[in-house]
Amino acid sequence: SRAMLQTGRTVFTLHGEGKKNGGMIPPEHTTMPELFRANGYFTQHIGKWHQDKKSFNRAYIDANSIFSFGNNIPKRSGWYGAGGHYAPVLMDYDPTGEYVLEHAFQMEKGMIKKKEIDKNIQNNMHSTDIFCDTALEFLENYDQEKPFYLYTALVAPHDPRNAPEKYEEMYSPDDVSTPENFLPQHTFDNGDLWVRDELLEFFPRREYSIRRHIADYYSMISHIDARFGDVMKKLKDKGLYENTIIIFAGDNGLALGQHGLMGKQSVYEHSIRVPLIVKPAGEFVPRMTDAYAYLCDIFPTLCDLCDLEVPESVNAKSFADVVNGATDMAREDLLLIYRNFQRAYKNDRFKLIEYFVGDQRNTQLFDLEKDPHEITNLAERPEYKVILEELKKKLHEKQVEFADPLVTCTAEKLAEDIW
């Protein structure tokens, strides 16, 4: 999703599907910050990148508190050890593009003692605080004439779900509701029931434990909300708010007990309907819309809003007319995917999900208007046979349109991980 966002390219047209080869973005795929830099903007990065180093340095003039370059840094250089969000390993901008992180490699080899890690934890700085404070510092000190492009990528509310005590005390499992579509376990094998997110809670799921996870999730979201509010206030204090386009987006949603799942590895509504808020420059009337969009559509949308020519490498679709209030239609329907296990088609009312797990095939059909939580599967009901066949045809057409390799692969290849 980050490669799609940065390049404005649909998922099957990304280089190596966006993650292979260390998440490399080739030079011929112009990135969003790269385009703004070429058009006279000062480009600044804060937080998670998760793509390669070369594309990063092509795109940004400066950066602080950089977290994660693709798959090239040992995984324990993140926060998956002691300290959680209180001990992220970060880097600042390296004009050479090398970004040698001796600290991370030493930690991977077990050469750093626990007391050295404890020093980071004792600073009592949560990752959200670090990134937002860095953004505040940038806005406070920015004094150039040229406009700026600031990309601040938080890592919360990704697990481990630890937030500052003030926010953890705001929510209790006793006060949180169990999701309407809670299940102790998923009703069939969806292809990835044992991936890392799913191992964060025991099988079968227990309602109180799920509410505990949700309470912790809410605490992290409230923390983000407060700190993002500080960034908005700084823009206003500096007189920059009215003339700044602001986009707040998420890249995945967590199940947290819904459908018996914990993570984001599904195409259910709880995992594909992610936050997207756009504040245009100048005067505007706040409103909500049901228009469909992918995160890759942000790139051409910003081009239109900033009067920049869309690069030839971009194949996503602008929703600038939705932002400007001219329409409530961006995309008529959506193709949804998760690896080679799951495909879904969604129009303005119905949703079809097809599962391909080994030699097992499962189909789900939901009426989202009557059943927004996707509880009742209509696929086997005779009265929905015509709708089911129509959606299957539409799904196939979208797969062809988006060059989905699942359309042409053999049965033997289908059983493999094409990613």
Alpha helices in 264-408 (DSSP H): 269-272, 298-305, 320-323, 385-401
280, 305 contact by CB (below 8 A): yes
Tell me whether the omega of the peptide bond preceding residue 147 falls within 30 degrees of 0, making it cis: no
Query: How many CB atoms sit inside 10 A of residue 194's CB?
Result: 8
> For 97-111, what is the mean pLDDT?
60
Q: What is the pTM of this model?
A: 0.91
Instruction: Judge contact between 77 and 101, C-beta under 8 A.
Output: yes
Look at residue 143 and tell me whether its pLDDT is greater than 60. yes
Q: Is pLDDT at 260 greater than 50 in this prediction?
A: yes
Stretch among 79-83, 232-236, 258-262, 336-340 having the lowest mean pLDDT = 79-83
Query: What pLDDT, on a 0 to 100 scale, did the predictor assign at position 19?
Result: 56
365-383 pLDDT, tens digit each: 999 999 999 999 999 999 9
Lowest mean pLDDT among 43-47, 75-79, 209-213, 332-336: 75-79
- pLDDT of 89 above 80: no
Position 328 scores a pLDDT of 93
Element (H, E) at 350: strand 350-357
Tokens 């697990």 identify what position? 159
36-50: average pLDDT: 96
Please provide residue 367's backbone torsions phi and psi, each rounded to the nearest 5 degrees: -95, 100
- Is the pLDDT at 49 greater than 70? The verdict is yes
Q: Residue 96: is its pLDDT beyond 80?
A: yes
pLDDT at position 50, please? Answer: 86
Confidence band of 75 (pLDDT split at 50, 70, 90): very low
Q: What pLDDT score was predicted for residue 110?
A: 53
Q: Spell out the CATH class of 335-414.
A: alpha beta
Structure-model confidence comparison of residues 16 and 323, the more confident one: 323
Cα–Cα distance, 397 to 391 (Å, whole number): 10
Mean pLDDT of the chain: 89
Work out the percent of the chain whose per-residue pLDDT is above 90: 75
Sheet hosting strand 342-346, strand order edge to edge? 334-338, 342-346, 350-357, 360-367
Q: What confidence score (pLDDT) does residue 419 get?
A: 43
Three-state secondary structure call for residue 356: strand
Residue 22: its pLDDT value, please?
A: 54
pLDDT band (50, 70, 90) for residue 348 = very high
pLDDT higher than 90, residue 228:
yes
pLDDT at 99: 82
pLDDT band at 100 (very low <50, low <70, confident <90, very high): confident
Helix (H) or strand (E) holding 144: none
CA within 13 Å, CB half, 340? 20
Identify whether the C-beta of residue 216 lies closer than 8 Å to the C-beta of residue 163. Answer: yes
The conformation of residue 152, written as its DSSP 8-state character, comes to E
Residue 354 CA to residue 359 CA, distance in Å, equals: 13
pLDDT of amino acid 364: 98
Instruction: List the domain boundaries for the chain.
Output: 31-155, 156-279, 335-414
Whole-angstrom distance, CA of residue 181 vs CA of residue 178: 8
Do 13 and 315 form a contact (C-beta atoms < 8 A)? yes
pLDDT given at position 411: 47
Query: Highest mean pLDDT: which of 17-26, 114-123, 160-169, 342-351?
Result: 342-351
Assigned token pair, 93? 């901008």
Other beta carbons within 10 angstroms of residue 64's beta carbon come to 18
The predicted pLDDT at position 207 comes to 97
Q: Per-residue confidence at 63, pLDDT binned at 50, 70, 90?
A: very high
pLDDT of residue 206: 97
In this structure, of 109-113, 171-175, 280-284, the range with the lowest mean pLDDT score is 109-113
Instruction: Pick the more confident residue, 347 or 2.
Output: 347
What confidence category does residue 151 fall into, taking pLDDT thresholds of 50, 70 and 90? Answer: very high
